Homo-oligomer: A and B are copies of this chain.
Amino acid sequence: MLVLGVDPGSRHTGYGVIEVNGNKLKHVAHGVISPPPKAEFSSRLFVLFEGLSEVIQRYRPDEAAMEDVFMAKNAASALKLGQARGALIVSCVQAGLNVSPYSPTAVKQALVGFGRAEKAQIQHMVSLLIKPPGKLQEDAADALAVAICHAHHAPAKALRENAA
């Protein structure tokens, strides 16, 4: 099973694809989509939408997981982040992917066993667990972390859904 993880952001959206085989996790791809900073906001949203659609077409993931954000510095930044997230969700759902949301705390808990872990710890655990080649940008590391978090939660979720 291939899992796509997404760390949404209007300036930089990280994505990561991992292969999940029982307990085994394997790195497939990762990257960051950065729309031209001086473009109009609506064009930047479309670059995010198209960029993620291309990633989905290339790797054909079976499931998607996206970091959910309940907190923001202020309403203005929440609106920007929300719009980016909306554009990215549409690209997943259009490709037939279900999008599972995970809070930053859930991601940290799954990776480090501690909901208030530091960014550096997350990056360290991602490197340890799936050994991505080359240097890992923070947004891509976060996206891979969301995918790993989903891999941990997905079996329990599937069991619950089958039982229902």
Interface residues of A (CB under 8 A from B): 41-43, 45-46, 49, 69-72, 74-76, 78-94, 98-99, 101
Copies in the complex: 2
Contact B82 A79 (CB under 8 A): yes
What 4 A-B pairs come out closest when comparing CB atoms?
A82-B82, A86-B86, A83-B86, A78-B78
- Apart from A42-B99, A70-B76, what are 12 other A-B pairs with CB-CB below 8 Å? A45-B90, A45-B93, A46-B89, A46-B94, A70-B75, A72-B75, A72-B79, A78-B78, A80-B82, A83-B83, A83-B89, A87-B87
Contact B89 A85 (CB under 8 A): no
Contacting A45 at CB < 8 Å: which of B42, B43, B76, B89? B89
CB closest chain-B residue, reference A88: B86
Output the least CB separation between A141 and chain B (Å): 23
Contact B82 A71 (CB under 8 A): no
A161 to B16, CA, bound (A): 40
Output the least CB separation between A99 and chain B (Å): 4
